Structure 1
């Protein structure tokens, strides 16, 4: 499945994350020839210098942001609480047209729980270190709490993180929320961020709302 390259690219981008001043609250990317607006939950902005677009899709990193006195977004001097990543595939959710969103998300979850799919959820590229701690589905998204005991620790991120999968504008989006180590043992805030991320992406790509 094309999801392999999408998730691998998340690992590479997260490793090179560094805050800069070139940020916006939303951005339009192109995946498989289709424009998709990337937007995060309230309080998160896009660092334009970390994005990438190629034949494998589009990849964007978001972090905490504030507002300057002039009303512009900024991440200077804003404590970082989590790192969010949007990875948009050049194709849609497999089986969505034939089985509907519910059936396609169920198929995706089954694949990700399989020996072939489980390693793609991790960041450390060690299949045996990856496990699913919890998962649930809504009408338009699949949420998975992942633990990767081999995840790179240099950035200080927790080895537990939430991934959400949803379709926006006909493209499969993998949305990740990763807190910093020891900041939230239960990952409750990361889960809320993942849910807010899905809601923001859906709203930004609703008819008439695209950039």
Structure 2
């Protein structure tokens, strides 16, 4: 995996015009297993699964959002390398407000599917900014997390990005946490990426368990 390419994509995803670099003290040690972000007055912890580390050089935040890239700890000079992770990184972003329906709403899944298949949803989920070139290949929900398999045939911001990728969405403390897999063509596997994304979602849920929405 070429960490330089992932870094460039991470900065594009974060929208540097709106998000400022984080204070290094927020991510102690350079590549921690977790970090807490304050978004709109609510604290949200991004926790990495075993073998993954948050890359502090990619962390960005603003009053209404935050972003960080997660990669194999071995690529950051840390222990915990796990075979099979080459070619994929994970991203986590936090947005002020909730994209999903309120917890316990029986229509939550239906509402979310309506959104992701709409033109607006395809524009948000794609990476090219061309909703007519974006297809939703699969959706599923499990344990309070919504997963979407996206295919983007538009003009991508970085050459070689895999056109098929998973996204995941969950509510944490009244904020929307959006996760995605980030790989390059021929270097990533869709099922393995989904498994890693699910592990990240579970780690975040466990780290924030017991917090009441702000």
Q: Give yes or no for TM over 0.5.
A: yes
Structure 1 counterpart of 2:65: 57
Instruction: Report the 3-state secondary structure (helix = DSSP H, G, I; strand = E; otherwise coil) of the residue aligned with 2:132.
Output: helix
Which residue matches 1:43?
51
Partner of 1:13: 13
* Equivalent residue number for residue 180 of structure 2: 176
Q: Which residue of 90, 93, 107 maps to 1:84?
A: 90
- Taking structure 1 as the reference length, the TM-score comes to 0.77
Matches within 5 A, 1:44-123: 44-66=52-74, 80-96=86-102, 100-123=104-127
- In structure 1, which of residues 165, 169, 176 is the aligned counterpart of residue 169 of structure 2? 165
2:119 partner SS? coil
Contact 1:175 1:194 in 2 (8 A): yes
Counterpart in the other structure of 1:138: 142
- Secondary structure of the residue that 2:107 maps to in structure 1? helix
- What is the CA distance between 1:14 and its match in structure 2? 6.7
The separation in 2 between residues aligned to 1:118 and 1:133, in whole angstroms, is: 11
Give yes or no for contact 1:109–1:142 (8 Å, CA) kept in 2.
Answer: no
Deviation at 1:80, TM superposition (A): 4.0
* CA deviation string 1:166-203 (max 9, x = no partner): 11122111111123211245x11111111111111101
The runs of 5 or more residues in structure 1 that have no matched partner are: 1-8
Query: 2:88, 2:187 within 8 Å by CA — same for their partners in 1?
Result: no
- Write out per-residue CA displacement over residues 40-61 of structure 1, whole angstroms, 9 at most, x where no aligned residue: 2222110112111113311111
* Match for residue 200 of structure 1 among 203, 206, 214: 203
- 2:49 match: secondary structure: coil
SS in 2 for 1:24: coil
Contact 1:25 1:73 in 2 (8 A): no
Number of residue-to-residue matches in the alignment: 188
Change (3 A) 1:105 1:193: same
2:32 corresponds, among 24, 31, 35, to 24
Q: Could you tell me whether the CA contact under 8 Å between 1:102 and 1:139 is conserved in 2?
A: no
Secondary structure, aligned partner of 1:116: helix
Q: Provide TM-score, normalisation by structure 2.
A: 0.76
Point out where structure 2 has 5 or more consecutive residues left out of the alignment: 1-8, 17-28
Distance 1:147 1:168 in 2: 27
